[in-house]
Structures are given as C-alpha cells and as structure tokens.
Amino acid sequence: MKNREIKKIGVLTSGGDSPGMNAAIRAVVRATAYNNLECIGIYRGYQGLIEGDFIPLNARSVKNKINRGGTMLKSARSSLFRTKEGRKIAYQKLIDASVDALVVIGGDGTFTGAKVFNEEFNFPIVGLPGTIDNDINGTDFTIGYDTALNTVVEAIDKIRDTANSHNRLFLVEVMGRNAGDIALSAGIGAGAEAIIIPEQDLGKDYLVSSLRKSKKSGKSSSIVVVSEGDEIGKNIFQVAKYIEENLKEYEVRVTVLGHIQRGGTPSCFDRVLASKLGVAAIDALLEGKKDCMIGIHNSKVVAVPFAKTIQGENEIDRALLRVAEIVSI
C-alpha cells in the first residue's frame, strides 16, 4: 500500500563523495517522477538543508549524469547539523518547502545524523550507502567501492612496472578510514606481496620479517598495500625508513594514492547498484518504511535500521585474508 501522505521527496548527498552518487540521485529522481511525486535536490548535504539551498528536480534534470563521478548536488560534512539547534532549523526548512520525506546518500556519519533527526522529529528518511570505504554494516557493498577498487588496481599496475624495473619495494597507501576493505580487495586484485589493514594490526616487525622471507624466496620487487587506518598507514614514511634500516637489501618508496580514489567514472557495477538501490529507496518510502538504509545483502535488496548500520566494528571478509596469504607466497 502506498503512503499517500508522501507527495514531495528531498534528496541529498553527504560526507565524502563517491563515484556512483550521481547514478543514485538519478535513480531517486526518476523513481520519484515515475510515481508522480515531486522531487527537490538539496545542495551540500545537511549544511544545504539548514540553509534551505534547494533545487526542484525532474526526470530531465538528471540527464547525462549516470556516467559522471562526484555528486551533482555537492557534498559537505556539517558541524551545525550535529547540534540540536541546527537540526531544528533544518526541520523547519523541510516544512516550509513542503517536503514529506528524505533520501540521504552517504556513509555512517550521514546515517547517524538521519537517525537522530528521525528520533527528534519523526521525519521519514531512508538512506543509501554511498562511500568508497565499504564500511557500512548491513550492506555487502557501498556505492563507489567497486570503482575505487578499480582505480587502486589500475594505479598499482603502473607502480608495479617501475617497482620491477628498479627492484624496489613500494608501500602504497590506500583510503578506507578505519576499514581495510579497499586495501584487502585491491591488494589481492593487484597481486600485493603483503596487505596491511587495521582489522589485523600486524605491526611493522611482522612486516619486516615477512618481507625478509619473501626476499629469500626469490622476489626482487614488492608491493605492500597499506590501509590508511592501520598504525603503519598512519606512520607510513617512518615505517619506510624503518624497513630500509632493517632490510638493507631493499630500496623503499612510498605512494599515497589519496583522493584519486574518490573520483572518476563510476564502474558499471556501481551504476547498477546505485540504480537498484535508488529505485528501492522510493519504493520503501511509499511502503511507509523509514529510519533505515536500503542496502544489498546476498544479491537481495534489504532495509536495515540506521541503528544497525552504525553499530559496532567494521566486519572484514576473513576468508579473503587467507586467500591473500596463499596467493602472495
């Protein structure tokens, strides 16, 4: 049964942008038009919501966007929305613009904000997981993660050429905040010698001894993928020095991939995921669902309460750790 109360839906992107956010906005806008509802875009996430920075969107407003990285609605991290006063202003802006429900696209910070907002104002919000980090509980994949993996693998393939030519060891730092998903999957995909993630916290001495072993086994160059959230990632230049001091035979270089991981044309996987979840978000709102994220689990679309998405530690695919160990021998 459709909830007839909902006539106008707002959509925003918040937190770090990710490739595929535009495809998600497009799906939300078109699903809204398909259901004969009005849609407004909110610029710069919760900050734009507080400022009433809105734009009406129709099916044609999102043409030529599916293939674009970044977010056409821009993004921000709003400190004002973390205050009760800021959220009160945001609520009034929604009422003034006759917005009945919201779709928020972002990561755990975005969902934390949505949860509190719903608690305070009982306002229908559903979320879509948009972050390269893949660190949201309740969804197997986040929008942007696959594209980021492809970007990392492409970059490391290039690094491998030069590493091999000079018999060098490269420490490649990747994003992910406190989650090791990008490092683990991209590390396997790029054929890394070792993968350093915060979920394992192996330490620099373990790394040195494993590199010593692989040198003995005949490897002449090496790629180590390091997650920025690991202690080694936080001190990557010092660790490079430490390795050179303890393994004289290695010449070490560091590459920090940084924000190139957030940009670029979204992969087909991310475009399809974003389209699927965007349509499902509008279906969910019309079915009366709220206070939840629409994600994907075992290839099925699922609705997960915001409280669950932000609960506990990031879960890494432990089976992949074993794979990484075996294939890097």
Listed ranges 2-10, 26-34, 128-136, 272-280: which one lies at the site for ligand F6P (CB under 6 A): 128-136
In the complex, minimum distance from the CB of residue 285 to ligand F6P, in angstroms, rounded to a whole number: 25
Taking CA atoms, 72 is separated from 20, 21, 27, 140, in Å, by 11, 8, 13, 25
Listed ranges 45-53, 118-126, 164-172, 175-183: which one lies at the site for ligand F6P (CB under 6 A): 175-183
Under rule CB under 6 A, which residues in 248-307 are in contact with ligand F6P?
262
Give the strand order in the sheet containing 101-106. 54-57, 38-42, 8-13, 101-106, 125-129, 292-297, 300-305
Q: Record the tokens describing residue 271, joined without a space.
A: 């475009």
d(CA 19, CA 66): 10
CB atoms within 10 A of CB 161: 8
Which of 26, 74, 87, 177 is the binder for ligand F6P (CB under 6 A)? 177
Residues 214-233 as x/- pattern, contact with ligand F6P by CB under 6 A: --------------x-----
Which of 104, 175, 211, 252 is the binder for ligand F6P (CB under 6 A)? 175
Marked catalytic residue, from 17, 100, 108, 133: 133
- Residue 160 makes contact with ligand F6P by CB under 6 A: no
Check if 133 is active-site: yes
Closest to 89 in 3D by CA, of 80, 100, 77:
80
**Residue 9 vs 174, nearer CB to ligand F6P:** 174
d(CA 259, CA 68): 16
- Residue 44 makes contact with ligand F6P by CB under 6 A: no
- Residue 146 makes contact with ligand F6P by CB under 6 A: no
In the complex, minimum distance from the CB of residue 182 to ligand F6P, in angstroms, rounded to a whole number: 7
Q: Record the tokens describing residue 135, joined without a space.
A: 């660190």
Question: Could you give the residue ranges of the DSSP H alpha helices within the chain?
Answer: 21-34, 45-51, 84-96, 108-121, 145-166, 181-189, 204-216, 231-234, 236-246, 268-286, 306-309, 318-327
The answer to whether 309 and 136 are in contact (CB under 8 A) is yes
Under rule CB under 6 A, which residues in 12-31 are in contact with ligand F6P?
16
- Residue 186 makes contact with ligand F6P by CB under 6 A: no
Which of 10, 127, 138, 176 is the binder for ligand F6P (CB under 6 A)? 176
In the chain, the N- to C-terminal Cα span, in Å, equals 56
d(CA 117, CA 87): 7
Which of 107, 127, 129, 233 is the binder for ligand F6P (CB under 6 A)? 107
Residues binding ligand F6P (CB under 6 A): 16, 107, 131-133, 175-177, 228, 262
So which residues are the catalytic ones?
A: 133
